[in-house]
């Protein structure tokens, strides 16, 4: 079990809505620096998105649990799965616009960047354009950002802020 972590189930069926809920709760709960807030897909009879919070200390965790419970959430210890998608994490606020891969790694809790269709990691000097939407995911205890090639030899996060729905032109 992840130390100082809890999670709450939600009725929210989509990641974008879950992101908004997680960000609103993080603000309302006044979560401190060093907090990780993640979304987790829950499959089964009722697909939905759960939210997890990992805090820097046990007293902060207890406070967050009490506040979530007061907001009507059933709070459970730990995280629902080990592959959460991070929305709130140290340094996320500094990841807007163009920067190098090295700057992205230095400014944030992201451990590694991967590029779809390639092996290894991109050069630390390669430019990454984020548009303020950076959603890394936990893989084997590391926070990993999946990126893809873009115009002019730059990289962009694989997940875009406003995706075009499938079959939008039909």
Q: Tokens 């979530």 — which residue?
A: 68
Tokens of 93: 């606020």
pLDDT tens, position by position, 44-99: 888 999 999 999 999 999 999 999 999 999 999 999 999 999 999 999 999 999 99
Q: What is the pLDDT of residue 12?
A: 93
Q: What is the pLDDT of residue 1?
A: 47
- With beta carbons less than 8 A apart as the criterion, state whether 25 and 51 touch: yes
pLDDT band at 33 (very low <50, low <70, confident <90, very high): confident
Which residues make Cβ contacts (< 8 Å) with residue 71, sequence separation at least 6?
25, 28
pLDDT tens, position by position, 94-133: 999 999 999 999 999 999 999 999 998 999 999 999 988 9
b/e 19-53 (16+ beta carbons within 10 angstroms → b): bebbeebbeebebeeebbbbbbbeeeeeebbbbbb
pLDDT tens, position by position, 130-141: 988 999 999 999
Which residues make Cβ contacts (< 8 Å) with residue 110, sequence separation at least 6?
89, 91, 104, 134, 136, 143, 144, 145
Q: Is the pLDDT of residue 170 over 80?
A: no
């Amino acid at each position: 079990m992840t130390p100082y972590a809890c999670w709450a189930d939600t009725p929210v069926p989509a990641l974008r809505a879950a992101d908004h809920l997680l960000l609103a709760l993080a603000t309302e709960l006044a979560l401190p620096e060093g907090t990780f807030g993640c979304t987790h897909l829950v499959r089964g009879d009722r697909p939905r998105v759960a939210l997890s919070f990992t805090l820097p200390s046990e007293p902060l965790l207890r406070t967050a649990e009490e506040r979530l419970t007061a907001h009507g959430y059933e709070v459970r210890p730990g995280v629902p799965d080990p592959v959460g998608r991070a929305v709130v994490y140290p340094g996320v606020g500094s990841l807007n616009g163009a920067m190098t891969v090295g700057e992205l790694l230095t400014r944030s809790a992201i451990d590694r960047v991967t590029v779809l269709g390639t092996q290894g990691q991109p050069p630390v000097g390669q430019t990454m354009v984020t548009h303020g939407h950076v959603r890394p995911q936990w893989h084997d205890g590391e926070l990993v950002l999946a990126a893809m090639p873009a115009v002019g030899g730059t990289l962009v996060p694989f997940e875009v802020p406003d995706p075009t729905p499938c079959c939008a032109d039909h």
